[in-house]
C-alpha cells in the first residue's frame, strides 16, 4: 500500500478515535421518550462476554500461527464492539439511568438500601469508572492496532497489541461484571 493511502487511513483512525467518544458523550445528553429498550443491557452484556471470548480465541489463533483465523476473529470482535456501542447508546438515549443499590426504584439510596449494599458499592464504582475510562482510551488503540495489521505492519501491530489486548479484554470482561452487579436494580 502506498504512503498516501497509509496516511489517509491513519487520518481516518484519528478521526474515529476522537469523534466516537465525543459523539457518545453528546448522545448521553439526548433523551428520546416513548421507547422501551429495557431488554438491551442483557444483550450488550452478552456481546461484551462474546467479545472477550473472541479476543481470547484470536490470541490463541495467532499464537498457533493461524493468521487468517486471527484476522477473522478480530473482525468479529470489532463488529461485536460496534454492535455493543450502538445498543448501549440506544438504551441510554431512551432509558433513565439505573442507580446502584436503588432497589425500590425511587431514585434515592435510602438508609436500608445503603446498608444492603454497604462497601460493595465502592467495588462497583471502581469497576464502573475504570471500565468507562478504559473504554474511551481503548478506541484509538483498537483503531491503530487494527490499521497496522490491515496495512501489513505486523511488527507495529504486535507492539500495539501488548497494550490493546489486555485493555480490550478488561473492558469486555468488566462490562459483564458491571451488568451483573447493576442488573438487580433495573426496573
Of the given ranges (15-24, 135-144, 147-156, 159-168), which has the lowest mean pLDDT? 15-24
Smallest CA-to-CA distance from 128 within 167, 181, 82 is with 181
Q: How far out from the chain centre does Cα 78 lie?
A: 10
Quote the cell numbers at residue 98. Answer: 439505573
Q: Alpha-carbon distance 43 to 104, whole Å?
A: 24
131 in any annotated domain: yes
Does 67 score more than 90 pLDDT?
A: yes
16 in any annotated domain: no
Smallest CA-to-CA distance from 47 within 18, 22, 26, 77 is with 77
Smallest CA-to-CA distance from 164 within 186, 187, 143, 133 is with 143
Does 40 score more than 90 pLDDT?
A: yes
Mean pLDDT over the full length of the chain = 91
Q: What is the model's pLDDT at position 9?
A: 78
Q: What is the model's pLDDT at position 176?
A: 97
pTM of the prediction? 0.88
Dihedral class, residue 65 (left if φ above 0, else alpha if ψ from -120 to 50, else beta)? left
Run of H or E residues at 102: none
Model confidence at 184, pLDDT cuts 50, 70, 90, reads very high
Q: What is the model's pLDDT at position 31?
A: 83
Model confidence at 14, pLDDT cuts 50, 70, 90, reads confident
6 in any annotated domain: no
179 in any annotated domain: yes
* Span 81-124, pLDDT tens digits: 999 999 998 998 898 889 999 999 999 999 999 999 999 999 99
Run of H or E residues at 9: helix 3-27
Model confidence at 55, pLDDT cuts 50, 70, 90, reads very high
Task: State the number of CA atoms in the 13 A half-sphere of 167 facing the CB.
Answer: 18
What single string gives the DSSP state of each residue in 129-172? HHHHHHHHHHHHHHHHHHHHHHHT-HHHHHHHHHHHHHHHHHHH
7 in any annotated domain: no
164 in any annotated domain: yes
163 in any annotated domain: yes
Quote the cell numbers at residue 53. Answer: 471470548
Q: Alpha-carbon distance 145 to 9, whole Å?
A: 12
**DSSP conformational letter for 66:** -
123 in any annotated domain: yes
The boundaries of the domain holding residue 66 are 37-97+110-185
Number of compact structural domains in the chain: 1
Q: What is the model's pLDDT at position 135?
A: 92
Residue holding cell 489486548? 165
Q: What is the model's pLDDT at position 1?
A: 55
Amino acid at each position: 500500500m502506498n504512503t498516501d493511502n497509509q496516511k489517509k487511513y491513519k487520518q481516518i483512525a484519528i478521526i474515529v478515535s476522537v469523534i466516537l467518544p465525543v459523539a457518545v458523550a453528546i448522545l448521553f445528553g439526548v433523551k428520546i421518550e416513548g421507547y422501551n429498550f429495557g431488554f438491551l443491557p442483557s444483550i450488550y452484556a452478552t456481546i461484551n462476554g462474546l467479545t472477550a471470548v473472541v479476543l481470547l480465541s484470536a490470541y490463541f489463533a495467532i499464537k498457533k500461527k493461524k493468521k487468517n483465523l486471527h484476522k477473522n476473529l478480530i473482525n468479529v470482535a470489532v463488529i461485536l464492539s460496534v454492535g455493543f456501542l450502538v445498543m448501549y447508546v440506544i438504551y441510554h438515549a431512551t432509558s433513565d439511568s439505573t442507580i446502584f443499590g436503588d432497589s425500590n426504584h425511587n431514585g434515592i439510596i435510602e438508609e436500608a438500601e445503603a446498608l444492603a449494599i454497604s462497601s460493595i458499592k465502592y467495588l462497583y464504582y471502581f469497576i464502573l469508572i475504570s471500565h468507562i475510562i478504559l473504554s474511551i482510551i481503548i478506541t484509538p488503540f483498537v483503531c491503530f492496532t487494527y490499521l497496522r495489521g490491515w496495512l501489513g505492519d505486523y511488527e507495529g501491530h504486535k507492539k500495539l497489541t501488548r497494550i490493546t489486548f489486555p485493555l480490550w479484554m478488561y473492558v469486555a470482561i468488566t462490562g459483564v461484571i458491571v451488568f451483573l452487579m447493576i442488573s438487580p436494580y433495573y426496573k
